[in-house]
Amino acid sequence: MGPLSARLLMERGRPKSDRLGRIRSLDLSGLKLLSEHLDPKLLSRLTQLQELDLSNNQLEMLPANLGLSHLRILRCANNQLGDVTALCQFPELEELSLEGNPFLTVSDNLKVSFLLPKLRKVNGKDASSTSSQVENLNRELTSRVTAHWEKFMASLSPEEAEKARADFVTSAVRDVRYGPESLSEFTQWRVRMISEELVASGRTQVHEAVVVLARLQWSPTELAYFSLSTCPDEGIVLCGDEEGNVWIYDVRHILAQQPPLPATPQAPTQILTWPQPRALSQTVTKTMVNTVVANPTFTYLTALTDSNIVAIWKRH
């Protein structure tokens, strides 16, 4: 397949029209397209396009300036994509398919969730749990980079600080760590972005008092962690640990009336454990819960581990 033509787009577009600007859905799957075949000048004429199928081609990347600002559904399954950052040009995207791209990683899935805030489905599955995980990661990384920035700048004189701003990004990427090694590509990517934003703003940090409502007793592990989630309507806080367990805390009494901060951390209401987990007929140990979520009424909860084991508990 050579470069795309306006005639081909009209043949494969819906509704049928002799004007590219009226096409809302376009199927370009299975054409052996290469990345260089996606001509931004031509595709940008599809001003009303909402659905695009690029599956089963040979794309290694997406051009960064396709001009499809109304796109809501994008299918890129079974290609050779190795980077997802160009997806940020589709801010209205709600559904995305990336299955069968062998070079994409777990970190790329997190990047997708960060870059596309309106995304509802990825590979046909609900994207809310990944979005929640990314929000927690982003919140913690922003906090850590900001703390690193304050410490970094405090050690320098005003003259040195101005010259050393460029060094801060390198320092942050090297020194700020969070989460399991499997997500290091994503965390370093975000750390770099946050650091560059701080340097560009040149802002000084304003300290605000933090009101601590409670301290929660948790695993004694020294690992950094991010699997915290909540059921706001039920007053429940959930957190996994490095052993595959789920810790449950009932904080309704704190939400109803703020008590004095107790001297000792609040113990969990319950710790959910499971039988020895197995994957591919092999015993799995030290499996870390990456995500734990419950439905709004807290009748069941689901935990996903870094070994791709899913545990589901039903409340009786």
d(CA 171, CA 183) in angstroms, rounded, equals 19
The closest alpha carbon to 121, from 85, 94, 81, belongs to 94
Other Cβ atoms less than 10 A from the Cβ of 206: the count is 5
- Name residue, tokens 């050690």: 155
Q: What is the mean pLDDT of residues 5-29?
A: 95
The residues with which 244 forms a beta bridge, in sequence order, are none
Instruction: Please report the pLDDT score of residue 180 as a whole number.
Output: 85
Token pair of 203, please? 């802002």
Looking at residue 188, the DSSP 8-state letter turns out to be: H
| CA-to-CA dists, residue 294 to 117, 128, 220, angstroms | 21, 12, 24
The residues with which 237 forms a beta bridge, in sequence order, are 230, 249
Give helix 158-175 / helix 128-154 axis angle, nearest 10°.
140
DSSP H/E element including 11: helix 6-12
The closest alpha carbon to 158, from 126, 112, 202, belongs to 202
Instruction: Please report the pLDDT score of residue 121 as a whole number.
Output: 95
pLDDT at 205 over 50: no
Q: What is the mean pLDDT of residues 201-206?
A: 58
Residue 206 pLDDT class (50, 70, 90 cuts): very low
Q: What is the mean pLDDT of residues 179-194?
A: 92
Domains in the chain, start-ordered, CATH in brackets? 6-125 (3.80.10.10), 130-201 (no CATH), 229-314 (no CATH)
Instruction: Please report the pLDDT score of residue 234 as a whole number.
Output: 87
Token pair of 285, please? 């140990």
d(CA 65, CA 47) in angstroms, rounded, equals 13
Residue 42 pLDDT class (50, 70, 90 cuts): very high
Collect contacts of 170-173 with beta carbons under 8 A, ≥24 apart: 172/145, 172/148
